[in-house]
């Protein structure tokens, strides 16, 4: 089976999204780019029963390479994002807070410095019907210089150099949205960070969690 390891990675990531309450039903999709090929979750398959064989492979022109099932309806979106960015993996979900916040803002105001983990103020891509070239174009623009974005009346998307880094941004994005929604619900003024503070946080986050390499004992 072509790309067996990567196809299993897609399955494991889908199951992680379910466990973390980041998807409802079979909504959402996951992919990995390998050269000119895209390994992507199938359409409408229950994540609990999904296997590596269910995951399909297409090329960057949207042509079928391997797999018996239909790909996610968002295959055009994934291909467009891969063409527009240096991403090697994509996760897309329909979690509650990110979907709700995308209904009421055109960007997530800088209310939490975690936004720096996604490259700065998080944009909301204008609505377009799922599976369309228009949606793919809107989302690709919203991701310029970012590793995550919201999709109006739809959900959220994160990207990364590998699937683990991409999916690990989804709970962070959901947290940012949840915090901002709760603050909005109070009706009080929300304390926002300045452009300079966000820029500083981006620099700080670039080395966050990186430990120095341990020297081997002689």
pLDDT confidence of residue 53: 97
Look at residue 210 and tell me whether its pLDDT is greater than 90: no
pLDDT of 137-156, one tens digit each? 999 999 999 999 999 999 99
Residues with active-site annotation: 74
- Which is more confidently placed, 202 or 216? 202
pLDDT digits (tens, 9 = 90+) for 75-110: 999 999 999 999 999 999 999 999 999 999 999 999
CB count in 10 Å sphere of residue 36: 11
Q: Give pLDDT tens digits for 58-83.
A: 999 999 999 999 999 999 999 999 99
DSSP state of 42: B
Q: How confident is the model at residue 217 (pLDDT cuts 50, 70, 90)?
A: very low
Q: Report the pLDDT value the prediction gives residue 11, as an integer from 0 to 100.
A: 97
Residues 6+ apart with CB under 8 A from 186: none
Could you give the CA distance from residue 29 to residue 75 in angstroms, rounded to a whole number? 9
Domains and CATH numbers, the chain: 4-205 (3.40.225.10)
E strands in the chain: 29-34, 37-40, 56-59, 64-66, 89-93, 107-108, 122-125, 148-151, 155-160
Backbone conformation region of residue 170, classed left if phi is above 0, alpha if psi is from -120 to 50, else beta? alpha
Is this prediction's pTM over 0.75? Answer: yes
What angle do the packed helices 163-186 and 4-19 form, to 10 degrees? 20
Confidence label for 19 from pLDDT (cuts 50, 70 and 90): very high
What pLDDT is stored for residue 24 in this prediction? 84
Which tokens is 151 given? 């999709």
- Reduced 3-state DSSP string for 89-132: EEEEECCHHHHHHCCCCCEECCCCHHHHHHCCCEEEECCCCCCC
Q: Is residue 169 within 8 Å of 147, Cβ to Cβ?
A: yes
Residue 57, classed as helix, strand or coil, is strand
207 pLDDT exceeds 80? no
Q: How confident is the model at residue 211 (pLDDT cuts 50, 70, 90)?
A: low
């Amino acid at each position: 089976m072509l790309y067996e390891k990567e196809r299993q990675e897609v399955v494991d990531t889908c199951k992680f999204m379910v466990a973390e309450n980041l998807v409802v039903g079979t909504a959402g999709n996951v992919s990995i780019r390998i050269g000119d090929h895209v390994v992507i979750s199938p359409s409408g398959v229950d994540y609990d029963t999904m296997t590596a064989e269910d995951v399909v492979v297409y090329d960057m022109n949207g042509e079928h390479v391997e797999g018996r099932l239909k790909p996610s309806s968002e295959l055009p979106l994934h291909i467009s994002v891969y063409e527009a960015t240096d991403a090697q993996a994509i996760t897309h979900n329909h979690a509650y807070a990110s979907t709700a916040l995308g209904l009421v803002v055109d960007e997530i105001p800088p209310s939490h410095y975690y936004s720096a983990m996604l490259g700065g103020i998080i944009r909301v891509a204008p609505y377009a019907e799922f599976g369309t070239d228009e949606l793919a174009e809107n989302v690709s623009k919203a991701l310029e210089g970012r590793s995550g974005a919201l999709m109006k009346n739809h959900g959220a998307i994160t990207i990364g150099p590998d699937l683990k880094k991409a999916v690990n941004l989804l709970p962070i994005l959901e947290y940012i949205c949840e915090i901002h929604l709760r603050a909005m619900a109070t009706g009080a003024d929300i304390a926002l960070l300045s452009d300079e503070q966000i820029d500083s946080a981006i620099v700080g986050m670039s080395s966050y969690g990186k430990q120095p390499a341990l020297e081997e004992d002689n």
